[in-house]
Structure 1
């Protein structure tokens, strides 16, 4: 049997050699994994360890509950099921595709890959905890993870590596009022419980619980940023590596108006009081839309739901509403999940007064305490296509076309970063300033309006709003508090071609998806490093989220060695400097960052200066501008959402009712006082005494 198992494992991964099985005790019981020899290093691998009870039934929409004891040895040789996916970002992931078929609500599992020394089984190593990205809507602890490359790039360098699953979409980020606070952020609470499990158990896997670094990219970067600042993680986290994400970004933590994932908002979609846009769903789901309609849209309920939630009625109390959703809300319909996520957007964290005490720069200014390494790619949204901006079918572009797109970006993206809502006139003012700042060539009509040039400008605007500006603001907050922060810009672009692989469904070929390989970057094309490209040099050999470098050159390998040396040095010592390159911390008096490239360079000033300055200083000032037109009556409700208008109307009705009651009570009181005064004046005791004789 062992020979057969060995043969299977060897066939699955040529460079892995099974040495032996290993069992260790954790708080909950005995768990069994395997020890492999990979890339010349002995690595112990435990996959699919449950760190919390399944968040189902009565545990839905609650903080995670610590896993109970098990009484038989638990096999941890396969990845646990990914959490239910609300977008298909990783459906066809090169490494996680098969496991994605097992996605489930029972998904709170983690994976451990750590060095193993036959001669000293008690030796411990610094721990690196990976938090995957995916807009808090998709991904898992095994997406984009090549075990062999993890062994080579991290474990071989003396790092104990842990990856985790956490709840996504409404299951992880639905929120509801609890007194003066909000309950929510369940996906982030999952991460906190995983960190608690690491503190209690990682020593058994040769990890050092006194030296834990969290690392994440995109949404995982925002989560890492938040966990580094949250008062609930003191003692659980000692350093953080934040890649292309920040908790200060508007898309990460909710700022104003009703949160999209508020229970009342979601219930309105479930009860058909609000309707999901079919055109938006069709656009996001793409060519697979019709296929999913055939497969999952058989029952024609509103918003692509499979079944009506019978217990969900009008005027329910919160506890009853929650109990109903825990029992009957069904997310098995893939089209329903994607449509709802398309409508609601990124699953944002919310200020709950507990895990997250505040939002924006205040969060970092008051809570920065552990060293961080943080940065962005040269042009984060550089791979976004003209289709996203509705530019793919545009012939002759006009200034109005571009102005409309910039206005939309300001309203949808920058608006999320402001502490208060802006009026339409203020948004327009800022959009005009942005147009001049990013598209100066549009002031020269003789040059025309080149679609590629316009798309490039829109990509740059979004990149700066969503990544560069919040990253720089976080860097400055850490520096102001005197906490070490190492800033970078990932600028490396491979010399060879970058391909994007997609799977599409075409009616001509039936329901079967067809693989399409598209060239993202041709040789010698001056593209810039885009969102997630750095991932391809840490966990894989040139692959990241359906993008792949072919061929993977010696220079790419050098980039991988450099980046992984920086990361592992920071994990071990808190300093990412290498033997050949000194990386100074960013301070108030020495504002420097590193351009990660071949070779790396030290750059004076802020990252991508002056782009962040425009948004953090100039745009911030403009956002506080309030236009006053003396000839036009200002409508104070003009910029409110429908939900806010409903709430405001309710408050006004309550206010009017209160005044009516006050007036009525006043009339009654004064009537009573008047009556008493009149009655008293008629009393015999108050009549004049005519029979009294006064002396003359």
Structure 2
């Protein structure tokens, strides 16, 4: 054993990481063995693939996770656990996790722990940072986009214990169920995150982590998760701070608002039975992009890409409980084509307001439940990397007013409509669409045409403002109104180097469909969604984008951002000491300020990306009214809050006072006019002249 340890110590890993020795620790479930690595003159301990829950399969499918039971032999935690089943291929070729992605499985509830190690002091406790990955609640894992060597230098060696987790995705994590008592259930992927946080509370001391100083951090869907976990009553005491990057619980894409959720068990069953068919255009696109996954010999693939329709779905009158039992026992997710087709048809997985984990939806959730300090922000132009194809443009062409108006209305219906608490009438949507069109596109002249690239830019801004900017500001305002500490930011940094984009296209070569991977260099002029990852966990890589070369200026940005994050994790404020003269102040109602993260950083006053949030706040007010016979009549969308009722009554009183003032002024004016006329009529000068002689002579 001694010889083996000595031999292992001589092994040098790629990137200068030296394996020094193995280390075992006791946790609730039993003994677990990891490794200690040396990087330069510093050491860290790494434990990968620790199961924190029982495998969510069989009878545990579509249920809240169950804490992992004890094991009786030492568990080897040297490799990442299997990623959860992916419902989109965002990370299929991830630079760091691509190989592990081939192991995706339903048995996937694993976490990873990386912490500083000092052989001279093995009792010190460090603050904990729990990373929750994004991916639209459809893709990703605890190892996607993470370069361990860079992460060690940027976070771990600053005295932070990092925990990354897997959680269930797509319908396995976010299917919704309405039971016998009509209570809405779901959020299984978020319950996974809660159980992982409970595991941290119970075990992190064994890894030199402090359970009383736990900060959660996430981006995109991970940020929406963090936003919810920072508010939820079930996490009180196990979450102490939150970092929310490009996402919010108040966003329409995060929590379902009204009607039957797309990922409802009965709706999913209708696609399994082929009562509903995938859109033929989408089917063709999916086949073109993934020809290697199609088996023409399987007749079942002709029905929504299924190999076999479960027999238990033949009972069309089955209750949701019976459908769920059917899903647990027979539903097969091995076909990626089926998973992707279902996702394209139903859209992003969403959380639901279940009354327990998520008591409310929208801004009221934040107003009623905020209780921990947060650092929250967005990228400068979140969707600036979206291509015309995302908006249905197949070729380059100039556009008419009718076609542009149709696209704007499409985004209003698909993005904005989902932020309100009830279905809006078409008249209201048309009113909002017209106001939005004028704000983002401009002139209503029927003779004007729009150049495609310019119009796509307007759509990018419109979609980003609805889905990220306005929700972020709503959350910031709610925290500030409650007197909670909130640091707000806009990530505006743009690398000077080109960004290499890794793409895959399918071509018909000699009658066979062939995948060809290639890279292309793209120059972006604005910071886009997820670019901030490239300065935290890697040296310039983020979701198939690579900054090349990664310059000294980029290193400066990375150092600044990671120092601010680590300061917040350790001390509760991003700049306890000014950064080159810059002091990041919290956002308050009386002093609204946010940080523009750039080189150098700047302090900005007012709302983030003003006047965008103000515009969408006004648009929100329009949702309470609809045009009816030339007038505006109230629509019963959602009950007004006490604060809103007081404000509305104040407006009404001011409105009536204004009309009363106008009436008084009118009476005074008419009285003056009448008096002048009467006086003029009674004056001697006003009488006719009798001494005027009219001559008939010529």
Aligned counterpart, 2:273: 271
Aligned counterpart, 1:553: 551
Distance 1:76 1:229 in 2: 32
Distance 1:51 1:205 in 2: 15
Aligned counterpart, 2:681: none
Asked whether 1:133 is paired with 2:131, we answer no
Distance 1:499 1:91 in 2: 17
> How big is each residue's C-alpha offset from its partner over 1:644-673, in whole Å with a ceiling of 9 and x where there is no partner?
xxxxxxxxxxxxxxxxxxxxxxxxxxxxxx
Distance 2:394 2:385 in 1: 14
Aligned counterpart, 1:516: 518
The structural deviation recorded for 1:40 is 3.4
> How big is each residue's C-alpha offset from its partner over 1:664-693, in whole Å with a ceiling of 9 and x where there is no partner?
xxxxxxxxxxxxxxxxxxxxxxxxxxxxxx
The structural deviation recorded for 1:175 is 1.3
Aligned counterpart, 1:621: 621
Distance 1:36 1:286 in 2: 44
Contact 2:8–2:20 under 8 Å retained in 1: no
Aligned counterpart, 2:187: 185
SS of equivalent to 1:626 = strand
> How big is each residue's C-alpha offset from its partner over 1:293-324, in whole Å with a ceiling of 9 and x where there is no partner?
23796533521111120012211133322211
Asked whether 1:308 is paired with 2:306, we answer no
Distance 1:161 1:306 in 2: 41
**Matching residue within 524, 531, 547 for 1:533:** 531
Distance 2:175 2:408 in 1: 30
Contact 1:39–1:151 under 8 Å retained in 2: no
**Matching residue within 573, 576, 579 for 1:575:** 573
SS of equivalent to 2:311 = coil
Aligned counterpart, 2:143: 142
The structural deviation recorded for 1:618 is 1.4
Aligned counterpart, 2:562: 564
Mapping 1:170-249, distance limit 5 Å: 170-178=171-179, 179-249=181-251
Asked whether 1:378 is paired with 2:380, we answer yes
The structural deviation recorded for 1:515 is 1.7
SS of equivalent to 1:507 = strand
Distance 2:261 2:450 in 1: 38
Distance 2:276 2:444 in 1: 40
**Matching residue within 9, 12, 15 for 1:10:** 12
Aligned counterpart, 1:660: none
The structural deviation recorded for 1:573 is 1.1
Mapping 1:456-495, distance limit 5 Å: 456-495=457-496
Distance 1:39 1:467 in 2: 40
SS of equivalent to 2:517 = strand
Distance 1:374 1:189 in 2: 22
Contact 1:296–1:334 under 8 Å retained in 2: no
Aligned counterpart, 1:688: none
Distance 1:281 1:43 in 2: 48
The structural deviation recorded for 1:392 is 4.1
Quick one: structure 1 residues 295 and 362, their matched pair in 2 at CA, closer, same or farther if it must change by over 3 Å? farther
SS of equivalent to 2:108 = coil
The structural deviation recorded for 1:180 is 3.9
Number of residue pairs matched?
625
Contact 1:48–1:77 under 8 Å retained in 2: yes
Distance 2:300 2:276 in 1: 18
Distance 2:569 2:106 in 1: 32
Quick one: structure 1 residues 296 and 624, their matched pair in 2 at CA, closer, same or farther if it must change by over 3 Å? farther
The structural deviation recorded for 1:547 is 0.4
Contact 1:487–1:594 under 8 Å retained in 2: yes
Distance 2:220 2:440 in 1: 24
Contact 1:115–1:155 under 8 Å retained in 2: yes
Distance 1:295 1:49 in 2: 39
Aligned counterpart, 1:607: 608
Distance 1:390 1:105 in 2: 34
Quick one: structure 1 residues 324 and 392, their matched pair in 2 at CA, closer, same or farther if it must change by over 3 Å? closer
Contact 1:29–1:69 under 8 Å retained in 2: yes
Asked whether 1:401 is paired with 2:403, we answer yes
Distance 1:238 1:2 in 2: 39
Quick one: structure 1 residues 281 and 484, their matched pair in 2 at CA, closer, same or farther if it must change by over 3 Å? farther
Contact 2:137–2:221 under 8 Å retained in 1: yes
Aligned counterpart, 2:60: 59
Contact 1:296–1:333 under 8 Å retained in 2: no
SS of equivalent to 1:336 = helix
SS of equivalent to 2:561 = helix
Quick one: structure 1 residues 54 and 267, their matched pair in 2 at CA, closer, same or farther if it must change by over 3 Å? same
SS of equivalent to 1:304 = coil
Unaligned runs of 5+ in 1: 637-696
Distance 1:394 1:619 in 2: 32
Aligned counterpart, 1:87: 88
> How big is each residue's C-alpha offset from its partner over 1:230-282, in whole Å with a ceiling of 9 and x where there is no partner?
00000110000000000100000000110011111111111121111131244
Aligned counterpart, 2:542: 544
Mapping 1:93-104, distance limit 5 Å: 93-104=94-105
Unaligned runs of 5+ in 2: 637-698
SS of equivalent to 2:113 = strand
Contact 2:266–2:323 under 8 Å retained in 1: no
TM-score, with length taken from structure 2: 0.87
Distance 1:286 1:618 in 2: 43
Contact 1:566–1:576 under 8 Å retained in 2: yes
Contact 1:281–1:342 under 8 Å retained in 2: no
Contact 1:125–1:207 under 8 Å retained in 2: yes
The structural deviation recorded for 1:123 is 0.7
> How big is each residue's C-alpha offset from its partner over 1:588-621, in whole Å with a ceiling of 9 and x where there is no partner?
1000000000000000001000011111x21112
Distance 1:609 1:56 in 2: 48
Aligned counterpart, 2:643: none
Aligned counterpart, 1:691: none
Aligned counterpart, 1:674: none
Distance 1:458 1:193 in 2: 39
Contact 1:301–1:307 under 8 Å retained in 2: no
SS of equivalent to 2:310 = coil
Aligned counterpart, 1:77: 78
Distance 2:126 2:513 in 1: 49
Contact 1:391–1:455 under 8 Å retained in 2: no
Contact 1:39–1:148 under 8 Å retained in 2: no
Asked whether 1:43 is paired with 2:44, we answer yes
> How big is each residue's C-alpha offset from its partner over 1:425-453, in whole Å with a ceiling of 9 and x where there is no partner?
2112111111111122665956x411111
Distance 1:282 1:489 in 2: 39
Aligned counterpart, 1:598: 599
SS of equivalent to 1:472 = helix
Contact 1:39–1:152 under 8 Å retained in 2: no
Distance 2:563 2:296 in 1: 48
The structural deviation recorded for 1:190 is 0.1
> How big is each residue's C-alpha offset from its partner over 1:537-579, in whole Å with a ceiling of 9 and x where there is no partner?
0000000000010000000000000000010000001101154
Instruction: Point out the more displaced range, 302-311 or 324-333.
Output: 302-311
Aligned counterpart, 1:34: 35
Distance 1:343 1:512 in 2: 25
Distance 1:427 1:296 in 2: 47
Runs of 4+ in structure 1 deviating by more than 6 angstroms, as ranges, are: none
